[in-house]
């Protein structure tokens, strides 16, 4: 990839997409950014990039948007762990979106795709988890299923259509510029600061700074091998409770309550009530029984030597990423106040 050729970032008003646009512009790379809502200009204020409408559910919109593009950063996806109809709102959107955008890229003559997959598409049965472990055998979550099946489909289509494709697999991205609604990962920090996590769920997250992931995407375009997958994460995860303890140490004036430990049966009962309320309100619950079943006690530790050695990926430590993300949220209280 040469610096004077056009790159396109889909989902460019999302957390990773917008920070990737900013990173590419800093590298003096011309950027075309696609969004579903062209009226939402706030994420692009002060940025010298072209903003166009395109929707991953509409292949024709991407055939048009990708004209003249050399490198396509396929970021846009439905990133949520809960929906009223998860098959339709999450799985189908992401699978069809993968097919539409890769076929559109091939038709438009794009040279390389950096496909943003997820650590959700990894097999956690052996620690530390690495790319060569294969795909996640746990089929209980539609978002996870969409990332597993979506990445497989992406590689199959790229091989069939003769287009270079590199997959990157980010962990829980936090930090830097963010716009409402916050992504799922950043939303956990918001819950902590708003004192809405009263009990210890024993859920861990692998925190990574979104700016490091944005750079990792760029490095994948520069150095990544077609047909390969790269984990963009930290080696060690942190529990939500340990994250709360860190937040309390950094901001003692907030007097954050450290989540208390309760039996798993109580956790499941709390989650069941939250799910019932969510079905009535249409708002995602803070906790579901599936979250407890899948993630409570799951260690999300990774071997990132492949990304380090082949790409030069070097993320800041999770504690630093959390500290900077908390600082950003506290300095932007309007985000914390929003429902």
Burial 4-20 (b: 16+ CB within 10 A, else e): eebbbbbbbbbbbbbbb
61-90 confidence digits (pLDDT tens) = 999 999 999 999 999 998 888 888 999 999
What pLDDT is stored for residue 82 in this prediction? Answer: 86
What pLDDT is stored for residue 3 in this prediction? Answer: 58
Give the Cα separation of 191 and 168 in Å (integer): 28
Q: Is the pLDDT of residue 53 over 80?
A: yes
12-31 confidence digits (pLDDT tens) = 999 999 999 999 999 999 99
316-331 confidence digits (pLDDT tens) = 999 999 999 999 999 9
> How much is the average pLDDT of 173-177?
93
3-state secondary structure 230-290: EEECCCCCEEHHHHHHHHHHHCHHHCCCCCEECCHHHHHHHHHHHHHHHHHHCCCCCCCHH
* Domain boundary assignment for the chain: 7-177+207-234+301-315
What pLDDT is stored for residue 85 in this prediction? Answer: 93
93-151 confidence digits (pLDDT tens) = 999 999 999 999 999 999 999 999 999 999 999 999 999 999 999 999 999 999 999 99
Tokens of 194: 């708003």
Residue with tokens 């795709």: 113
Contact 292, 268 (CB under 8 A): yes
Q: Is the pLDDT of residue 55 over 80?
A: yes
What pLDDT is stored for residue 198 in this prediction? Answer: 84
3-state secondary structure of 35: strand
Average pLDDT, the chain: 94
Give the Cα separation of 35 and 39 in Å (integer): 9
Contact 124, 298 (CB under 8 A): yes
238-281 confidence digits (pLDDT tens) = 999 999 999 999 999 999 989 999 998 999 999 999 999 989 99
What pTM value is reported for the model?
A: 0.95
CA distances 169 to 114, 161, 304, Å, are 10, 22, 11
Superfamily of 7-177+207-234+301-315 according to CATH: NAD(P)-binding Rossmann-like Domain (3.40.50.720)
Tokens of 71: 């490198």
What pLDDT is stored for residue 339 in this prediction? Answer: 55
């Amino acid at each position: 990839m040469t610096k004077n050729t056009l790159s396109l970032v889909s989902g460019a008003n999302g957390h990773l997409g917008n920070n990737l646009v900013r990173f590419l512009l800093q590298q003096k790379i011309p950027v075309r950014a696609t969004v579903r809502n062209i009226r939402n200009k706030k994420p692009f204020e002060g940025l010298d990039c072209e903003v166009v409408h395109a929707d991953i559910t509409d292949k024709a919109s991407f055939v048009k948007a990708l004209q003249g593009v050399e490198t396509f950063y396929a970021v846009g996806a439905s990133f949520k762990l809960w929906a009223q109809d998860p098959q339709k709102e999450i799985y189908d959107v992401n699978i069809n979106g993968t097919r539409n955008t890769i076929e559109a890229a091939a038709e438009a003559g794009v040279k390389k795709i950096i496909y943003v997959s997820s650590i959700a598409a990894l097999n956690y049965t052996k620690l530390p988890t690495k790319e060569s472990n294969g795909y996640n055998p746990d089929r209980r979550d539609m978002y996870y299923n969409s990332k597993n099946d979506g990445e497989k489909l992406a590689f199959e289509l790229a091989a069939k259509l003769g287009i270079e494709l590199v997959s990157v697999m980010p962990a829980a991205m936090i930090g830097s510029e963010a716009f409402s609604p916050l992504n799922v990962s950043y939303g956990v920090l918001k819950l902590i600061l708003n004192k809405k996590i009263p009990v210890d769920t024993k859920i861990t997250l692998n925190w990574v700074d979104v700016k490091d992931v944005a750079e990792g995407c760029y490095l994948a375009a520069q150095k990544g091998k077609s047909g390969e997958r790269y984990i963009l994460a930290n080696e060690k995860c942190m529990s939500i409770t340990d994250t709360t303890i860190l937040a309390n140490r950094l901001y003692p004036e907030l007097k954050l309550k450290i989540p208390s430990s309760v039996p798993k049966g109580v956790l499941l009962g709390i989650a069941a009530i939250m799910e019932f309320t969510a079905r009535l309100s249409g708002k995602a619950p803070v906790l579901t029984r599936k979250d407890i079943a899948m993630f409570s006690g799951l260690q999300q530790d990774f071997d990132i030597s492949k990304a380090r050695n082949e790409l030069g990926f070097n993320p800041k430590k999770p504690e630093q990423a959390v500290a900077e993300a908390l600082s950003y949220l506290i300095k932007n209280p309007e985000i914390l106040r929003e429902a």
